[in-house]
Structure 1
Amino acid sequence: MFDMPTKTKEDRKANTKFRQNLIKEGYFMLQFSVYVRVCKGLKSANNYLERLELILPKKGHIRAMMITERQFDNMKLLLGKESETEKARKPQQLTLF
């Protein structure tokens, strides 16, 4: 999980580069500024944490957390109420010829 400044062009460039490096390292975006990677055991996870330290940006805050596959599987997705705009965008019926 990370929080990085994006006020200047240099900050935005560093943010983009960091996210691209995360993807190259096998991470995928769970939600904006939250990336996850599956590791085979604690030793592998620690190796990736060491590799993560090599690509840290100069500014910003990064937090790493290790959870088990079982804990990840038990994650719940909570969604808010659908807005009127979202309801209006849904097609009522679709016909294909």
Structure 2
Amino acid sequence: MWVLVFFDLPTETKKDKKHYATFRKKIMSDGFAMFQFSMYIRHCNSKENADVHVKRVKSILPPDGNVGIMCITDKQFGMMEIFKGQDLVDPPDTPQQLELF
């Protein structure tokens, strides 16, 4: 599964900028990577693991602004068409899970 977090936070005052920076740093420390400027993604190995990360994001929501959280499957993520200019590019690779027997 993939967890997508997209946000539109105010940055008009110093306090707003601090909330923005704190939120961004916290989701990045939880393993999210920037997909676009205000959209971050994280791969999770199961729905249960995705629920844990969604709960973490909810616990650090800033006081103002809009935040969206969406979970999609690997198959849905793989069907996304991504363009750089007019050129079609490949979506990010799904991280491989280390398996120990």
* Shared fold, TM over 0.5: yes
Q: CA deviation at 1:78?
A: 2.9
Cα-to-partner distance string for 1:46-89 (whole Å, 9 max, x where unaligned): 111111111111111111111111111221113446xxxxxxxx
TM-score, with length taken from structure 1: 0.77
Q: Using CA pairs below 8 Å that are at least 6 residues apart, which structure has the higher relative contact order?
A: 2
Secondary structure of the 2:34 match is strand
| 2:13 equivalent among 8, 16, 19 | 8
| Structure 1 runs, 4 residues or longer, greater than 6 Å off | none
What stretches of structure 1 of length at least 5 have no aligned partner? 82-97
Higher helix share: 1
The answer to whether residue 62 in structure 2 is matched with residue 57 in structure 1 is yes
CA distance in 2, matches of 1:45, 1:25: 12
TM-score, with length taken from structure 2: 0.74
What stretches of structure 2 of length at least 5 have no aligned partner? 1-5, 87-101
Equivalenced residues, count: 81
CA distance in 2, matches of 1:30, 1:79: 12
Which residue in the other structure is 2:30 paired with? Answer: 25
| 1:69 equivalent among 57, 68, 74 | 74
- The one-letter amino acid of 2:42's match is R
CA distance in 2, matches of 1:46, 1:23: 17
Higher strand share: 2
**CA RMSD between the two structures:** 1.2
CA distance in 2, matches of 1:80, 1:46: 34
Secondary structure of the 2:17 match is helix
Percent identity reads: 38
